[in-house]
Structure 1
């Protein structure tokens, strides 16, 4: 799995999930339940991950949707 997005914005997460779902790209959002520990203040970002073989396609979809500035940089080769 490769992280492509990290944000505190739950609306953005929902939008990205819809975009990826429409493209049939399986994804997972981590750290959703951390709000219980932080008191629901939204201080801890949620991470959205996709399969490594779909990461490039997911990045193209998000770039086309005008969300390129929200993307986590791709890992360096060999990581």
Structure 2
């Protein structure tokens, strides 16, 4: 698994996951349960991860949507 995004914003996280799913890339949200336990105060941001083989494609999708900087590692 490779982490392609880290955010404490649940709306952005949902948007990023939808972008990846629409592109046919499976993804999982890591740390969702710890965020719920800590009361969603933002101390533990959630991570969006994809299979290692899909990491490059996932970053390309997020970059094209303007959600990753152009100079972010591929």
| Shorter-normalised TM range | 0.7 to 0.9
Larger Rg: 1
Count of residues paired in the alignment = 72
**Judging changes above 3 Å, is the alpha-carbon distance between structure 1 residues 36 and 67 closer, same or farther for their aligned structure 2 residues?**
closer
**Partner Cα separation in structure 2 for residue 73 and residue 9 of structure 1:** 22
Greater than 6 Å deviation, 4+ residue runs: none
Question: Unaligned stretches of 5+ in structure 1?
Answer: 75-79
Please report the TM-score for the alignment, with normalisation by the length of structure 1: 0.81
- How much has 1:43 moved relative to structure 2? 1.7
User: Following the alignment from structure 1 to structure 2, what is the Cα–Cα distance between the partners of residues 57 and 39?
Assistant: 33
TM-score, normalising length: structure 2: 0.86
Counterpart for residue 2 of structure 1: 2
Supply the RMSD in Å over aligned alpha carbons.
Answer: 1.6
Alpha-carbon displacement from aligned partner over 1:7-50 (angstroms, at most 9, x marks no partner): 10111100011101101101110111113331221221001110
